A = this chain, B = another copy of it.
Amino acid sequence: TSANIDLDRSSRCGYPEVIFCEGKTSASLVEIFSTLLESNQRCLGTRISEEQAETVLKQFPQAIYNQTARTVRIPEKDAAFDEKLIAGEIAVLTAGTSDRPVAEEAIETLTWMGYEPDFILDVGVAGPHRLQEQLPRIQNVSAIVVAAGMEGALPSVVGGWVSCPVIAVPTSVGYGASLGGIAALLGMLNSCAANVTVVNINAGFKAGFIAGLIADQKHSTS
Number of copies: 8
In whole angstroms, what is the CA distance A33 to B32 when docked? 40
Which of A48-56, A59-67, A72-80, A189-197 contacts the other chain? A189-197
Given known A-B contacts A189-B176, A200-B176, A125 and B97 have beta carbons under 8 A apart: no
Q: What string of 1s and 0s marks CB contacts (under 8 Å) between A159-172 and chain B?
A: 11111110100101
- Across the interface, do A122 and B3 meet the contact criterion of CB distance under 8 Å? yes
Asked if A37 CB lies within 8 Å of chain B CBs, one says no
Check if A188 is an interface residue, CB within 8 A of chain B: yes
B192–A95 contact, CB under 8 A?
Answer: yes
Least Cβ–Cβ distance between A122 and chain B, in angstroms: 4
A136 at the interface (CB under 8 A from B): no
Inter-chain contact B24/A97, CB cutoff 8 Å:
yes
Contact A160 B12, CB 8 Å, known A28-B97, A122-B4, A153-B153: yes
The proximity string for A residues 118-154 relative to B, scoring 1 for CB distances below 8 Å and 0 otherwise, is 0001111111111000000000101100000011110
